[in-house]
Amino acid sequence: MRIGIICHPTYGGSGVVASELALSLAENGHSIHLFSHDVPPRLLRGSGGVELHVAQGSPYPLFHSTPHDLAIMSRVLDLHRSEGLDVLHAHYALPHAISALLVREAARSAKLDPLKVVTTLHGTDITLVGNDPSYAPLTQYAITASDAVTVVSEDLAARTRVNFDGGPSCGIHVIPNFVDLEEFRPVEERSEIASAIHISNFRRVKRVPWLVNAFADALAMLRAQGKDAELVLVGDGPQLGETRRVARERDVCDRVRFLGLRSDLAELLAPADLFCLASTEESFGLSALEAMSSGTAVLGTRVGGVAEVVVDGTTGVLVDPTDRAAFAGEMARLLGDRQEAAQLGAAARERAVARFDRRTVVEQYVSLYRELVGGAGPCP
């Protein structure tokens, strides 16, 4: 099949899923075009068989900012005219689903071959951003006009129905996120001292300062038992400064390592004892899955779709997001008992293999594309 994929070129999960999907589909022999306004981080090391189209548009004095989404739409339309696409897959409702629908409409009016639009919702696109009154009507349109809508968890499907009038009349396809089990795999050697790791874009929803506070509490408990631990923070974003401030205030700078943006995530995740996720909402938690695949146990908050990924008590521990004392207590317990953390990590790897293997999940997208292209698609 000839498939176009549009995504944000960010370190956030939607760009990662779109890039990994594109790489897998290309590897399986499909013709894949990925459109974005910059090179997505997961394609920086090579784009395999994926044809990458970076469209940034041109600045013009009338524009407040350069409308790269218009440039992307023009590029997709141009490619559809010259080579033809069967499916256009938008990751994140805004603006990509709207862009894809406009391209479908433009193709119709130019009497080009029809192309089907698949929209994958990732979370904040229907909760924080898409649900904002300034965008909600257009998000509603993106959801109802797409030929198919997929979401990354059952929880997100339910939220989509609640926030957007029951969701698309033709239903929502739940296709979970996936992981490359070869790339993210366990290693024999753990880090020298007990180690917790967190990876994110340091947006407010991730609560990294809260996590550092919990770690400081946990470290005090561990030190009282003559033990030691470190917290490794990977990524960058709006709350990095605030996170550093909390580390200074709590006097744990010598035990919190800030690594910034990194591409060697697999190498960082596998030696850690614990992956920590302190989010206030999370539709799935892709980084937690990558940790699980690496054989690292997860300590997370019980929000959104996280419980569909992490099995509480078996592959990690989930606590109430308002209970920092419980989070710190579990952190101290698991970093203090590395054997227990390793057992949870082994079960986590088993779950990643059984439920979230890249090859199996990518096949679910391929089946959906085939249904739509074959005319048996449910929408609209």
Beta bridge partners of 150: 120, 173
Cβ neighbours for 110, distance < 8 A, ≥ 6 positions apart:
81
Q: CA 62 to CA 69: how far, in whole Å?
A: 16
Site residue total, ligand GMT (CB under 6 A): 21
Q: How many Å from the N-terminal Cα to the C-terminal Cα in the chain? A: 21
In the chain, the amino acid numbered 221 is M
Binding of ligand GMT at residue 281 (CB under 6 A)?
yes
Contact residue for ligand GMT among 79, 152, 252, 335 (CB under 6 A): 152
Q: Is 124 in the site for ligand GMT (CB under 6 A)?
A: yes
Select the span of 48-56, 82-90, 162-170, 275-283 touching ligand GMT (CB under 6 A): 275-283
DSSP string, 85-113: -SEEEEESIIIIIHHHHHHHHHHHHTTPP
Region of 316 please: left (phi>0), alpha (psi -120 to 50) or beta: left
Instruction: Kindly state whether residue 12 participates in binding ligand GMT, applying the rule CB under 6 A.
Output: yes
Residue choice 36, 160, 195, 201 for contact with ligand GMT (CB under 6 A):
201
Instruction: CB nearer to ligand GMT: give 216 or 303.
Output: 303
362 Cβ contact partners less than 8 Å away, ≥ 6 residues apart: 21, 24, 25, 28, 178
- Least spacing, CB of residue 200 vs ligand GMT, in Å: 6
Contact with ligand GMT (CB under 6 A) among 87, 205, 334, 348: 205
Q: Does residue number 282 form part of the binding site for ligand GMT (CB under 6 A)?
A: yes
Nearer to ligand GMT, 47 or 200 (CB): 200
Which C-beta is closer to ligand GMT: that of 239 or that of 279?
Answer: 279
Using rule CB under 6 A, residue 283 touches ligand GMT: yes
Contact 134, 295 (CB under 8 A): no
Listed ranges 41-49, 119-127, 292-300, 330-338: which one lies at the site for ligand GMT (CB under 6 A): 119-127
32-71 positions binding ligand GMT, by CB under 6 A: none
Least separation, in Å, of the C-beta of 160 and ligand GMT? 12
**Of 100-108, 184-192, 244-252, 281-289: span binding ligand GMT (CB under 6 A):** 281-289
Task: Note whether 95 and 126 are within 8 A (CB).
Answer: no
CA dihedral sign of residues 321, 276, 331, 204: negative
Dihedral sign of CA atoms 366, 371, 373, 377 in order = negative
CA–CA dist 160, 157 (Å, integer): 5
Q: Minimum distance from CB of 9 to ligand GMT (Å)?
A: 11
| Site string (172-191) toward ligand GMT, x via CB under 6 A | -----x--------------
Q: How far is the CA of 165 from the CAs of 130, 137, 140, 153, 375, in angstroms?
A: 14, 11, 8, 18, 26
- Supply 380's token pair: 């609209």
Give the binding range for ligand GMT (CB under 6 A) out of 14-22, 76-84, 137-145, 250-258: 14-22
Among 207-215, 250-258, 279-287, 291-299, which window interacts with ligand GMT (CB under 6 A)?
A: 279-287
114 Cβ neighbours under 8 A, 6+ residues apart: 104, 107, 108
Q: Return residues touching ligand GMT (CB under 6 A).
A: 12-15, 17, 92, 122-124, 152, 177, 200-201, 205, 279, 281-286
